[in-house]
Amino acid sequence: MKESNELLASVAGANEAMVGLYLYWQSKKGLKEVHRGFDLRKRGNDSSIEMFVEIEVSDNLAYCWWVDVNFKGEAWNVEGSLLKTENGEQHVLSRLLKIGGSSLEDFTIELAKAIKTIVDSSKQFQL
- Domains of the chain with CATH codes: 2-124 (3.30.1300)
pLDDT in tens, 81-100: 999 999 999 999 999 999 99
Pairs from 87-94 (Cβ < 8 Å, separation ≥ 24): 87/60, 88/60, 90/64, 93/63, 94/121
pLDDT in tens, 9-56: 999 999 999 999 999 999 999 999 999 999 999 999 999 999 999 999
Q: What is the DSSP letter of 74?
A: T
User: In this structure, how many other beta carbons lie within 10 angstroms of the beta carbon of residue 86?
Assistant: 13
Please give the model's pTM, rounded to 2 decimal places: 0.93
Q: List phi, psi (to 5°) of 94.
A: -155, 135
What distance in Å separates the CA atoms of residue 110 and residue 99, rounded to the nearest whole number? Answer: 8
